[in-house]
Structure 1
Amino acid sequence: MRFPPVTSKFSPLPILPVMSINLDTTAATELVRTLQRTRQRYPRLLIDCGNLKCLRTLGVSHVISELLILHRAGAHVWLRNVTPVLHHCLALLKLTALFRTLPAAA
């Protein structure tokens, strides 16, 4: 899997997501506790939104809430396969600057 390079203002080297997260099987609060125990300060997370069951069953507000919990804990969140509805809601809430979106997987 290849990601477009994202650079930091602190480093010219590309920064890539290192952990793929499935919000259907992992609650954000549990993940935050795990990251705190392992003392990962700024984890880079990749969430594939294309097949999220919780997006259909619990709704967009649940997914956005989970994303905000991760962001508040210091995680850098990348989103792949963002649905038009989720993208529109993120834009309406002015949250597009908090979460990077990646193109659909090839």
Structure 2
Amino acid sequence: MHVPDGTRIGILGRGRWASKVVGMLVGAGVDVVQLGPARREAGEDAGAYEARIATAVREGGCTDVWLCVPPGVHVPVLVRALGREGVGVIVEKPWPYPRTRSI
């Protein structure tokens, strides 16, 4: 696996799949950082959720983020927050989101 110098991949998710992805990337010599919980906290509105994720990405110094989360309505919110931070996003699962709406 070739990854350009200066690449730092943030991992959003804490489950079994996240652990496997971290192991694979670290084994390939990639700089990886866990970004904390990807789940929306109880009582956290969408704006606060996006801000928390964006802050974690900035503080982690990420150039890219791998979403290791199950499909769901939270994925477009995460993609939007990451897009605003200007980082690359890796999403290997589809998510339910109408094509007629923009993220």
Fold match by TM threshold 0.5:
no
Higher relative contact order (CA 8 A, sep 6+): 2
